Structure 1
Amino acid sequence: MSQQISSSSTPDISFDTPALLRYRNVRKLKDRAARYGIATGGLGVIVAITLIFFYLLFEVVPLFRSADVHKQVAYSLPVTAGESLYLAMEEQAEIGLQVSSSGEAKFFDTQDGSLRLQSQLPVPAGVTVSAFAESAPGSNLLIAGLSNGSAIIFKHDYKITWPNDQRLITPFIEYPYGEEPITVSEGFPLDEVAIRDSEEVLTIAGSSGGQLFMTRLNKEVDFLTEEITLTREQVTMPMIGGKVRRLLLDPDRKWLFALSGNDDLSVLDIKSLVPYVKRVVPLAEDSHTVTSLEFLLGGISLLAGDSDGNISQWFMVRNQSGKEDLTRIRSFKQGDAVITSIIPEHRRKGFLALDSAGVLGLYSTTANRQVLTTKIADQNVAFTGIAPRANGLLVRTGDDMAFWSVENEHPEVSWSALWDEVWYESYGEPEYIWQSSASNNDFEPKLSLMPLAFGTLKAAFYAMLLATPLAICGAIYTAYFMAPGMRRKVKPVIELMEALPTVILGFLAGLWLAPYVENNLPGIFSLLILLPFGVLLFAWFWDRLPLSIRGRVGEGWQAAMLVPVILIFGWLAMSLSGAMESLFFGGDMRSWITHDLGIPYDQRNALVVGLAMGFAVIPTIFSIAEDAIFSVPKHLSYGSLALGATPWQTLTKVVLLTASPGIFSAVMIGMGRAVGETMIVLMATGNTPIMDANIFEGMRTLAANIAVEMPESEVGSSHYRILFLAALVLFLFTFVVNTLAEMVRHRLRQKYSSL
Structure 2
Amino acid sequence: MKENSQVPVIDFDTPQLRMHRKIRSYKDKVAEVGVGVGGISVIIAILLIFLYLMYEVVPLFKSASVEPVAEYQIPATETLPGQAKTLYLAVEEQNEVAMRITSVGEVIFFKVENGQVVKRSQLPVPAGVELTTVSPEGASSHYFALGLSDGSVIVMKERYRITYPNDKRLITPMIEYPFGEEPMQIAQDGSALKSVILHNGEERLMIAAITADNKAHLSGFYKEESMFGDEVSLEQSVYQLPVNAGTFSKVLISSDQRWLYLAGEQGQIDVVDLADASQPKLNARLKVTEKNSGLAEVIMQLGGISLLISDDSGAISQWFLVRDEQNEWSLTKIRSFEHDATPVAVMLSEHRRKGFLAIDEKGQLSVYSTTAHRTLLTEGILDKQPIAGAISPRADKLIVERADGVLQTFKIENEHPEVSWSALWDEVWYESYQEPEYTWQSSASSNDFEPKFSLMPLAFGTLKAAFYAMIVATPLAIAGAVYTAYFMAPAMRRKVKPVIELMEALPTVILGFLAGLFLAPYVEANLPGIFALLILMPLGIVAFGFAWAQLPGKIRHSVPDGWDAALLIPVVLIVGWFALGMSQPLESVLFNGDMRTWLSNDLGIPFDQRNALVVGLAMGFAVIPTIFSITEDAIFAVPKHLSYGSLALGATPWQTLTRVVLPTASPGIFSAVMIGMGRAVGETMIVLMATGNTPIMDANIFEGMRTLAANIAVEVPESEVGSSHYRILFLAAFVLFMFTFVVNTAAEMIRQRLRKKYGAL
Q: TM-score, normalised by structure 2?
A: 0.97
Post-superposition CA distance 1:588-639 (Å, at most 9, x none): 0010011000000000000000000000000000000000000000000011
Q: Which residue matches 1:687?
A: 693
Q: Distance in 2 between matches of 1:637 and 1:340?
A: 85
Q: Which residue matches 2:389?
A: 384
Contact 2:92 2:392 in 1 (8 A): yes
Q: Which amino acid aligns with 2:133?
A: A
Contact 1:192 1:244 in 2 (8 A): no
Q: Which amino acid aligns with 1:83?
A: K
Q: Distance in 2 between matches of 1:77 and 1:521?
A: 74
Alignment of structure 1 residues 312-331 onto 2, 5 Å: 312-331=317-336
Q: Which residue matches 1:34?
A: 31
Q: CA offset at residue 494 of structure 1?
A: 0.3
Aligned length: 751
Q: Which residue matches 1:132?
A: 134
Q: CA offset at residue 35 of structure 1?
A: 1.8
Q: Distance in 1 between matches of 2:535 and 2:617?
A: 17
Query: Does 2:744 correspond to 1:738?
Result: yes
Q: Which residue matches 1:642?
A: 648
Contact 1:523 1:577 in 2 (8 A): yes
Q: Which residue matches 1:157?
A: 159
Q: Which residue matches 2:110?
A: 108
Query: Does 2:527 correspond to 1:521?
Result: yes
Equivalent in 12, 15, 21 of residue 13 of structure 2? 15
Q: Which residue matches 1:63?
A: 60
Q: Which residue matches 1:434?
A: 440
Query: Alignment partner of 1:382: what SS?
Result: strand
Q: CA offset at residue 460 of structure 1?
A: 0.2
Query: Does 2:40 correspond to 1:43?
Result: yes
Q: Which residue matches 1:233?
A: 237
- What is the identity percentage for the equivalent residue pairs of Structure 1 and Structure 2? 59
Q: Distance in 1 between matches of 2:486 and 2:12?
A: 50
Equivalent in 549, 560, 574 of residue 555 of structure 2? 549
Alignment of structure 1 residues 287-436 onto 2, 5 Å: 287-397=292-402, 398-436=404-442
Q: Distance in 1 between matches of 2:325 and 2:343?
A: 36
Post-superposition CA distance 1:456-493 (Å, at most 9, x none): 00000000001000100001000001110110000000
Contact 1:76 1:113 in 2 (8 A): yes
Q: 1:634 to 1:380 in 2, by over 3 A?
A: same
Q: CA offset at residue 400 of structure 1?
A: 0.6
Q: Which residue matches 1:193?
A: 196
Post-superposition CA distance 1:21-59 (Å, at most 9, x none): 443343233222222222222111111111111111100
Q: Distance in 2 between matches of 1:682 and 1:238?
A: 54
Query: Does 2:697 correspond to 1:697?
Result: no
Alignment of structure 1 residues 580-591 onto 2, 5 Å: 580-591=586-597
Query: Does 2:142 correspond to 1:144?
Result: no
Contact 2:75 2:108 in 1 (8 A): no
Q: Which residue matches 1:752?
A: 758
Q: Which amino acid aligns with 2:112?
A: T
Q: Which residue matches 1:452?
A: 458
Q: Which amino acid aligns with 1:627?
A: D
Residue ranges of structure 1 left out of the alignment (5+ in a row): none
Q: Distance in 2 between matches of 1:54 and 1:219?
A: 58
Q: Distance in 2 between matches of 1:78 and 1:61?
A: 42
Post-superposition CA distance 1:314-348 (Å, at most 9, x none): 00001222211000000012111011221000000
Contact 1:242 1:262 in 2 (8 A): no
Q: Which amino acid aligns with 1:676?
A: G
Query: Alignment partner of 2:303: what SS?
Result: coil
Q: CA offset at residue 738 of structure 1?
A: 0.2
Q: Which residue matches 1:602?
A: 608
Query: Does 2:271 correspond to 1:267?
Result: yes
Contact 2:266 2:293 in 1 (8 A): no
Contact 2:346 2:387 in 1 (8 A): no
Q: Distance in 2 between matches of 1:466 and 1:490?
A: 20
Query: Does 2:168 correspond to 1:171?
Result: no
Q: Distance in 1 between matches of 2:497 and 2:18?
A: 44
Q: CA offset at residue 223 of structure 1?
A: 4.6
Q: Distance in 1 between matches of 2:739 and 2:674?
A: 12
Q: CA offset at residue 191 of structure 1?
A: 1.6
Q: Distance in 2 between matches of 1:588 and 1:132?
A: 62
Q: Which amino acid aligns with 2:37?
A: T
Query: Alignment partner of 2:632: what SS?
Result: helix
Post-superposition CA distance 1:337-363 (Å, at most 9, x none): 011221000000000011111111000
Q: 1:550 to 1:377 in 2, by over 3 A?
A: same
Q: Distance in 1 between matches of 2:229 and 2:691?
A: 51
Q: Distance in 1 between matches of 2:397 and 2:663?
A: 67
Query: Alignment partner of 2:256: what SS?
Result: coil
Q: Which amino acid aligns with 2:615?
A: V
Q: Which amino acid aligns with 1:201?
A: R
Equivalent in 239, 243, 247 of residue 243 of structure 1? 247
Q: CA offset at residue 543 of structure 1?
A: 1.0
Query: Alignment partner of 1:441: what SS?
Result: coil
Q: CA offset at residue 281 of structure 1?
A: 1.4
Q: CA offset at residue 658 of structure 1?
A: 0.2
Q: Which residue matches 1:559?
A: 565
Q: 1:674 to 1:12 in 2, by over 3 A?
A: closer
Q: Distance in 2 between matches of 1:46 and 1:505?
A: 32
Contact 2:265 2:294 in 1 (8 A): no
Q: Distance in 2 between matches of 1:340 and 1:367?
A: 24
Contact 1:241 1:260 in 2 (8 A): no
Q: Distance in 2 between matches of 1:242 and 1:292?
A: 17
Q: TM-score, normalised by structure 1?
A: 0.98
Q: Which residue matches 1:531?
A: 537
Larger CA deviation: 422-431 vs 314-323: 314-323
Root-mean-square deviation (Å): 1.5
Q: Which residue matches 1:716?
A: 722
Query: Alignment partner of 1:614: what SS?
Result: helix
Query: Does 2:76 correspond to 1:79?
Result: yes
Q: CA offset at residue 644 of structure 1?
A: 0.9
Post-superposition CA distance 1:431-468 (Å, at most 9, x none): 00000011111100000000000000000000000100
Q: Which residue matches 2:626?
A: 620
Q: Distance in 1 between matches of 2:534 and 2:203?
A: 61
Larger CA deviation: 80-89 vs 501-510: 80-89
Q: Distance in 1 between matches of 2:26 and 2:200?
A: 83
Q: Which amino acid aligns with 1:57?
A: M
Residue ranges of structure 2 left out of the alignment (5+ in a row): none
Query: Alignment partner of 2:655: what SS?
Result: helix
Contact 1:353 1:360 in 2 (8 A): yes
Q: Distance in 1 between matches of 2:486 and 2:207?
A: 84
Q: Distance in 2 between matches of 1:12 and 1:634?
A: 36
Contact 1:628 1:659 in 2 (8 A): yes
Q: 1:442 to 1:16 in 2, by over 3 A?
A: same
Contact 1:381 1:396 in 2 (8 A): yes
Q: Which residue matches 2:496?
A: 490
Q: Distance in 1 between matches of 2:443 and 2:12?
A: 81
